[in-house]
Structure 1
Amino acid sequence: MEDAEKGPQEQPDSVPEVGEDAVTAVGPSPPPPAMTEEERQELQEELAKVEDEIQTLTQVLAAKEKQLADIKRKLGITPLNELKQNISKTWQEVTTSTAYRRTSETLSQAGQKATAAFSNMGSAISRKLEDVR
C-alpha cells in the first residue's frame, strides 16, 4: 500500500526478478482515462497480492527442491545414476518402437541380401578364375 502513496515518478526499490515484466519494473504508468482512482487502487492491491503469492510459491518451491535433493542423497541417487537410468529408459523406448523394429528388420534383410550377392559374386569370380587356368 505504501507504493500507492508514492508518486508515480519514483522507481521501485528492488531489482526485477527474472521473468518480471519490464513495465512493472519501471513503475506505475498513468491510469487510462476510463479508470477511476478507486479501480486503479484495487488493481495495485491485487498486483501486490499476486506478487506476494509468487514470492511465497518461489520460496515453497525452493524448499521442496532442497527436500528432494536431501531425499535423493539419502537414497544414494546421484545425478550420474539418474542420467544412466534416463538413458537406459530412453534406449528401451527406442528399441521397442515400431519405427526401430521396422528399420532393424529392413537392415537385416538388406544385410542378408548383400551377403548372398557377395557370396554369389565370389563364386562367379572363382569359377571364372578356374576357367582361365
Structure 2
Amino acid sequence: MEDHNTSKLSEPASPVASVASADIAAEFAALTAEEQEKQRAEWSQELARVEEEINTLRTVLASKTRHASDLKRKLGITMWKEITDDMNQGLKNVKESSVFQRTESVLKSTSEKTASVFGSITSGITSKFSQMKNSDSMRSIEEKVGSAYENVKTRVSTSRSGSINSFPDALNENNSSSGLNSPTDSITK
C-alpha cells in the first residue's frame, strides 16, 4: 500500500507534464553512461545555483520586510490599523458589488411591501375596534359592568362604615337577620 501512495506522489499532475516527463526520461535513457553522468552533474550544478538564488532572495525579502516594519512603526501604522483598513476596503468592495446592490434593493422592496401590509392590517383592526366601541351592544356591556362595579363599591364602603367592628359581630348580625342561630348559641341554649 505504501509503494502505491509513493508512486502516486511522484507521478505528474497533468497529462502534459506526464508526456514531458516521459520524453525527458526517454531522452535520458538514450544517452550513454558517460553522457548520463555528465547530464546529472549539470543538473546538480544548476540545482545548487537555483537553491543559492532562492536563499539570497529569502535573505533580501527578510531584510526588506524588517525595513518596511520599521518604517510602519515610525509612521504609527499598527497591525490593527492595517487589518481595519483591509476590512473596510473589503466591506466597501462588497457593498459596491452588483450582487450586494441587487440583494439590498430586493430586501428594501420586500420590507416596504411588508410594512404596507402590516399598516393596512393595523388600520383595519383599529377601525374594527372603533366600530365595536361605538356599537349598541358594547355600550350595553359597558353600562352593565359599570353598574355592577358601582354596586360592589357601594356594598364594600357600606360594610366598612357600618357598626360591624369584628368578624363575630358580622356573623351575629348576619345570623340574626337571616333567622339562624350561631353554633355557640345552640350550645348555650
Q: What TM-score do the two structures reach when normalised by structure 1?
A: 0.68
Residue-by-residue CA offset, 1:19-53 (whole Å, 9 max, x unaligned): xxxxxxxxxxxxx7545221111111111111111
The amino acid of 1:105's aligned partner reads S
How large is the RMSD of aligned CA atoms in angstroms?
1.7
Give the corresponding residue for 2:63. Answer: 63
Q: Provide the secondary structure at the position in 2 that maps to 1:77.
A: coil
Partner residue of 2:121? Answer: 121
Counterpart-to-counterpart distance in 2, 1:110 and 1:46: 66
Distance in 2, matches of 1:88 and 1:124, equals: 45
What is the aligned partner in structure 2 of residue 106 from structure 1? 106
Partner Cα distance (2:107, 2:75) in 1: 43
List runs of 5+ in structure 2 lacking aligned partners.
1-27, 134-189
Q: How many residues align?
A: 102
Q: What are the Cα deviations for residues 37-90 of structure 1, in whole angstroms up to 9, with x where unaligned?
A: 211111111111111111111111111111111111111110011111111111
Distance 2:117 2:103 in 1: 21
Partners of 1:58 and 1:106 lie apart in 2 by 50
Distance in 1 of aligned mates of 2:69 and 2:130: 74
Q: For residue 86 of structure 1, what is the aligned residue in structure 2?
A: 86
Structure ranking higher on relative contact order (CA contacts 8 Å, 6+ apart): 1
